Amino acid sequence: MVWLQLVATRLTQAVAMALVLATLCFGFVQALPGDLATRIAAARVGEDRLTPEIATRIRAQAGLDQPVLVQYGGWLADLARGELGRSLVTGEPVVAEFRYHAGHTLVLGLLGWALSYLIALPIGLWAGLRPGGWVDRISDAAAVLLASLPPFLTGIALISLFALTLTWLPPAGFGTWAHRVLPALTLALGLAAFAVPVIRTAVVEVRGAFYITYAQIKGLGETTAFRHHGLRNAAIPIVTYAALQMTFVIDGFVVIETLFNHPGLGAWLVKALLARDVPVILAASLAIGFLFSLVSLITDALCLALDPRARAASVRLGRGWSAR
């Protein structure tokens, strides 16, 4: 029941978001100056071979002579069937381009996310187990500093250090795994800056909890008590925070992919926005939006699975559970 509510809430939100995005793009196309049929014709056959007849044919074909509301309905119906059309710039089907870019984004995202936990977990745990110690103080300062840097500046700093000064890695582009190291590291550092304080606070709070004291009175060693009773409790805020982190990942994607010229969804979206390529803008923003919804759903589900109290609370209140 709880799980069903959770899925229903997130699904409704995702559909509403898709509707807003589609409406925004439709409104943008309508608001553009000039005749839409002529522009589509120009994009299809080229400016020099454009004749009024072609434009008229396209107008009838695409239903552009219909009232706006009918066109809007048609646009939504096409979308619901998964017909996203062709890119106005390359002429390729949007779906094919999407697959290519989504793959690059997924690899970079997973790499960056995994790397961030490789950095953040040991540091956060150490800082939380020894609050006020030197690891805690240094990591806190570093986290504040990193969180105050826009992701493109972290990226530029890494490029100038590892690519321009040390020349260990290529500065930008794609193809080999070496090209993925710097973008993934940039993403990971930005993520870790948010994750370290969260992990630290969670560990500190759990260590001060009465059940840990009780476990120690019972005779368990400090480490055993923490491993048996603390880890799961500390995991709840850490997992909850992962959703907020994903917000950063998605902003980060757009900026980091553009900086490193990495052909993922974010760079695809920015290029399309600069070229005003509406079918691609819609497809890319839908893809990024759905990716975010999916991650939020997984996060909420993980929280429910980890925390029986949340399950009980959302049953008692009779409403959907939301981590945010």
Partner 1 sequence: MNRAVILALVLVVGGPWLAPYDPMEQNLLAVLLAPTWDHWLGTDHLGRDVLSRVLAGAPRSLGLALGCVGTAVALGCTLGLMAATGGRWLGALIMRGADLVLAFPGLLLALLLAGFLGGGVGPMLFGLTLTLWPQYARMTQAVARRALAEPPVEAARLAGFTTLAILSSLVLPVVLRALLPLATLGVGQAILSISALGFLGLGLRPPEPEWGAMINDLLPVLTEAPVQMAAPCLAILTAVLGLTLAGRTLLARQQHSL
Footprint on residues 221-260 left by partner 1 (CB under 8 A): 246-248, 250-251, 254-255, 258-259
The nearest distance, CB 272 to partner 1, in angstroms, is 8
Is position 43 an interface residue for partner 1 (rule: CB under 8 A)? no
Instruction: Give the number of residues in contact with partner 1, rule: CB under 8 A.
Output: 45
Told to check if 318 binds partner 1 by CB under 8 A, we report no
Environment class of residue 65 by beta-carbon count within 10 Å: exposed (0-12), middle (13-18) or buried (19+)? Answer: exposed
Interface with partner 1 (CB under 8 A), residue from 28, 168, 211, 214: 28
**Least distance between partner 1 and beta carbon 56 (Å):** 28
Question: Is residue 324 within the footprint of partner 1 (CB under 8 A)?
Answer: yes
Residue number, 122 or 208, with CB nearest to partner 1: 208
Considering only residues 267 through 306, tell me which ones interact with partner 1, judged by CB under 8 A: 269-270, 273-274, 276, 281, 285, 288-289, 291-293, 296
C-beta of 124 vs 252, nearer to partner 1? 252
CB of 30 to partner 1, least distance (A): 11
Nearest distance, CB of residue 100 and partner 1, angstroms: 20
> Closest CB to partner 1 among 156 and 220?
156
Stretch of 17-25, 55-63, 79-87, 202-210 contacting partner 1, by CB under 8 A: 17-25
Binding mask 141-160 for partner 1 (x = CB under 8 A): ---xx-xxxxxxx--x--xx
Cα–chain center distance at 297: 13
- The residues, ordered by sequence, that sit 6+ positions from 95 with a Cβ below 8 Å of its Cβ are 82, 84, 283
Smaller CB distance to partner 1: residue 214 or 290?
290
- By beta-carbon proximity to partner 1, the closer residue of 14 and 303 is 14
Per CB under 8 A, residues contacting partner 1 are 13-14, 16-17, 20-21, 24, 28, 144-145, 147-153, 156, 159-160, 164, 246-248, 250-251, 254-255, 258-259, 269-270, 273-274, 276, 281, 285, 288-289, 291-293, 296, 322, 324
